[in-house]
Chains A and B, each alone.
Chain A
Amino acid sequence: MIRRLGVALLVWSAAPLVLAQTQLVLVRSTLSYHMSHPIHHVDGTSTEAKGKGTCGGAKCDFLIAAPVNSFKSGDSNRDLHMIEAVRGAQYPMVVVRTTLPNPIPADGTIYADLEVQFAGQDLHYPHVAFQKSTSGKQVQISGTVPATCSDFKIEPPSFLTVAIKNEIPVSVSMTWQPQ
């Protein structure tokens, strides 16, 4: 009786420590924005995003963030102009939060509601399609976020007095694995 009570008490007291949670960590990622101008196309890519996912209860919460200045387009002058245009010194991080059901749906197309913090704006992108595939312990997720300049109140940068297109889709490719 005493032993049972003792064990029960210990389990109760230690429960917050061993709360059943699964944590996922972003091990590799490529985030690319695509910019279109009548003269040329530009892709700016960051591989410096970090992310974490926490699964508990009926949902998994994911957080992915990347420094704005980590996006490289192949031209340092253009990158500095991009940082200026998106107010990247004032708002230096692009942060994405999303929630998926726990367990995460099987491989194939999954849909996520994204909360994006960028350029001083908080935006909600509902029902964004991603492709999920599993390889061993690793989970690959890829998709495109249909971002636009006007969404984030960014004045479209111009080159030779001609502005870029409003659409700046962001391609996402991520590899997650349990921590």
Chain B
Amino acid sequence: MRNILFYRLLPSLFLISMPIALAAQNVATVSLPDAPDAQQQSTQQPSSSSSQQTQPARPPDLSDLGFSPQQTQADPQLQARLDKRTHMLKVHQRLGLITLAPMAAALFTGSLAKGEDHEGRTFRAPSDANLDFHAALGGLTAAMYFTTAWYAIDAPRIAGTHHRGPIRFHEALAFVHGPGMIATPILGIMAYRQEQNGERVHGAASAHGAVAGITVAAYAASMLAVSWPPKFLHRH
């Protein structure tokens, strides 16, 4: 009786247990990592049941970590947009630095370009040539400024980017020096014409120097903003 039971039950137990074993091995096979070959080889070794306790476990794979496909998939188009953006902003940065030179020179020569005598009359000091030079510097500054601005305005925007940090001040200050760079040459031309007519600079034109000063200050602050915080304030 015991022998009959033994011979009848043994195959059935084997048949019951086999699908479980095969299923378990299939699970292991399906979830094999797509990691380098060397690791794939090591993951296939544990299929031998006789040495399972001594074989290394299956190394974890990137797919085990729960990142979304959007996070792990390459996006060459985004990379191309980032490359173009970086290129344009590098040009923006270089032109911006170069623009600082004619801007400072225009500010400096501006103070020499006009003056008032003791009776309050305007005179051109030290000469017409100096005033022309100041106007030329102003024109060069404006041209370079708007070229610089264009490289920032036209740089590709990256969707989903929330602006934060010093770049916000850099961008906000553009609303000060941008209008300033429009107003300064206009007021300068007005002042120039008034002087040409032998008039004392008056009205809005008299604000030319002040507007220019504020514009240059905002421009310099804008450059400082992107280099914030300076090294000596950094807390590591």
Contacts and interface: CB of A to CB of B under 8 A. Distances in A.
B153 to A, nearest CB: 14
B103 to A, nearest CB: 16
Interface centre among B65, B67, B227, B234 (most CB of A within 10 A): B65
B65 A21 contact: no
B128 interface: no
B64 A63 contact: yes
B78 to A, nearest CB: 4
Interface in B178-236: 226-231, 234, 236
A89 B79 contact: yes
Interface in A72-112: 73-78, 80-81, 83-85, 87-93, 95, 97, 99
A55 B55 CA distance: 10
A50 interface: yes
Contacts, number: 176
Contacts of B164: 74-76
A19 B57 contact: yes
Contact of B13 (A5, A16, A75, A78): A5
B41 interface: no
**Chain B contact residues, majority secondary structure:** helix
Contacts of B78: 89
Contact of A15 (B52, B227, B230): B52
Contact of A40 (B5, B20, B76, B228): B228
Chain A binding surface SS class? mixed
A41 B236 contact: yes
Interface stretch (B80-88, B105-113, B116-124, B137-145): B80-88
A38 B232 CA distance: 10
Nearest to A97: B59
B75 A76 contact: no
Given A40-B227, A40-B228, A78-B165, A59 B75 contact: no
Contacts of A37: 231
Contacts of B35: 97
A136 interface: no
Interface residues on A, range: 35 or more
Interface string B27-70: 01000000100000000001001001111111111101111000
Contacts of A93: 62, 67, 71-72
A61 B59 contact: yes
A89 B229 CA distance: 27
B18 interface: yes
Contact of A77 (B13, B83, B167): B167
Interface of B: 2, 5-6, 9-10, 13-14, 16-18, 20-21, 24-25, 28, 35, 46, 49, 52-62, 64-67, 71-76, 78-79, 82-83, 85-86, 89, 93-94, 97, 158, 161-167, 170, 226-231, 234, 236
